[in-house]
Amino acid sequence: MDRLTGMRSFVGVAQAKSFSHAARSLGISRSLVSRHIADLESQLGVRLFNRTARAVSLTEPGQHYFEFCERVLAEIDAEEAALQGLRDKVEGQLSIICPKWIGHLDLGEAIASFAVDHPKIHVRFEVGGMSDRNYDFLGDGYDIAFHTRELRDSSLLIKKVASLEFLLCAAPDYLEQVGPPEEASDLAEHDCLVNTNDPVWHLSQDGRKHNIKVLNAVYSSNSYLTLQKAAVRGRGIGLLPMRTVCDDVAERRLVRVLPAYEVPNRSLYAIYSPGGQRVQKVKVFLDYISEWFLKNPMTPSRPLKTA
């Protein structure tokens, strides 16, 4: 028998002065309550109750033990209630981490908006420095990690919060100088701007996939922002997040390349622990971020220009 379970049965009988009434209030059978008391008396080596046909009363050792049990159970209940309150309160610290390139998208703007709208939550947002092992962020003290690849770890939860569109694009000046590519295979002859964490470009045409290992990477970086700047200055063709180049496309500083080919979207996932004391804060945060991306689409104000 679990000692705390026995203590609760004992306190229930002492307060009700009845095994039957205690059983009903505890939601268990009378025989189980009797067994709990018998086990306690056996473990303690004392008789806790005087039993007669009409009444149940505490013995002297029983009275001492009753006062002890009431104090212990009250402290346990108070501590559990406090922890429950911490878990459910939408306030306190919330720590978030993501790879550098995701943090340089407008995810940072979404998180800043959340911090303004929920001033009782103190946000810590770290960009970069993530381990290759997705679950390590928990051991480093973070509540949530953002990523774009699916997670296969049954101990963690994953929620899709947005779909990220990518665009194969270049500056009009560059395309006027060398001519636009006509087929995916033509990219081998072009200057390309490549993210070092994304060296293979995935395209599709009429259901056929083209996985292109970029051979002529004239400019590479782990930051899409720097690749965007190089693309605008005419250094070559880049596969860039639409949320990064949206304004450049709208103002025709960049134009779409290979319009007959599709670039698959990538899902933006939030990874987090299923338990802990911050469940409610995490839920409120993820609901907010998902809604923010829905309310702030990255579609340019004018139709996409093509080469």
Q: So what's the pLDDT on residue 303?
A: 44
Mean pLDDT, to the nearest integer, of 241-255?
90
Q: E strand or H helix at 139, and its extent?
A: helix 136-139
Taking every pair of C-alpha atoms in the chain, what is the biggest distance, in angstroms? 105
User: What is the distance between the alpha carbons of residues 181 and 295, in angstroms, rounded to a whole number?
Assistant: 35
Same-domain check for residues 139 and 284: yes
- Around Cβ 13, how many Cβ atoms within 10 Å? 27
Instruction: Give the Cα separation of 38 and 187 in Å (integer).
Output: 82
Contact call for residues 263 and 178 (beta carbons, < 8 A)? no
Q: What is the pLDDT of residue 80?
A: 77
Instruction: Examine residue 305 and state whether it is found in any structural domain, yes or no.
Output: no
* Shared domain check, 49 and 14: yes
pLDDT cut 70: percent of the chain above it: 88
Shared-domain flag, residues 146 and 32: no
C-alpha–C-alpha distance, residues 249 and 61, integer Å: 83
- Of 61, 87, 113, the position where a domain reaches its end is 87
CB 34 within 8 A of CB 19: yes
Count the helices and strands in the chain (H runs, E runs).
Answer: 11, 14
Q: Are residues 82 and 96 in the same domain?
A: no
- 303: in domain: no
Domain end position, chosen among 87, 117, 137: 87
- pLDDT value, residue 299: 53
Res 300: pLDDT: 47
φ/ψ (deg, to 5) at 264: -65, 145
Quick count: other Cβ atoms within 10 Å of Cβ 93? 12
pLDDT of 301:
41
CB–CB of 135/156 below 8 Å? yes
95-115 pLDDT per residue, tens: 999 887 777 777 888 999 999
Tokens representing residue 234 in the block: 């005419």
Number of structural domains, the chain? Answer: 3
Asked whether the predicted pLDDT for residue 240 surpasses 90, the reply is: yes
Percent of the chain with pLDDT over 90: 47
d(CA 292, CA 298): 11
CATH number at residue 282: 3.40.190.10
Tell me how crowded residue 129 is: count the other CB atoms within 10 A of its CB. 11
Residue 90 has a pLDDT of 74
- Give the domain CATH number at 185: 3.40.190.290
What domain range includes position 128? Answer: 92-163+266-295
DSSP for 25-63 reads HHTS-HHHHHHHHHHHHHHHTS--EEE-SS-EEE-HHHH
What per-residue confidence (pLDDT) applies to 304? 45
Is residue 196 situated within a structural domain?
yes
- With bands split at pLDDT 50, 70 and 90, how would you rate the model's confidence at 152? low
For residues 156 and 273, state if they share a domain.
Answer: yes
Element (H, E) at 193: strand 192-195
Taking residue 124's Cβ as centre, other Cβ atoms within 10 Å add up to: 12
- The predicted model gives 5-15 an average pLDDT of 91
Summarize pLDDT for 264-306 with one digit per residue, the tens.
Answer: 888 889 988 776 555 788 889 999 999 998 888 765 444 444 5
Same domain? 150 vs 276: yes
For residue 254, count CB atoms less than 10 angstroms from its CB and return exposed for 0-12, middle for 13-18, buried for 19 or more. Answer: buried
Answer yes or no: is 245 within a domain. yes
Domain of 32, CATH number, reads 1.10.10.10
User: Do 215 and 284 fall within a single domain?
Assistant: no
Q: Please give the angle made by the CA atoms of 106, 109 and 113, to the nearest 5 degrees.
A: 145
- Per DSSP, the three-state class of 273 is coil
Same domain, 223 and 206: yes
Whole-number Å distance between alpha carbons of 111 and 303: 28
Does any domain span residue 300? Answer: no
Residues 156 and 270 occupy one common structural domain: yes
Residues 146 and 270 in one domain: yes
Are 110 and 293 in contact by the 8 Å Cβ rule? The answer is yes
State which of 87, 117, 136 marks the end of a domain: 87
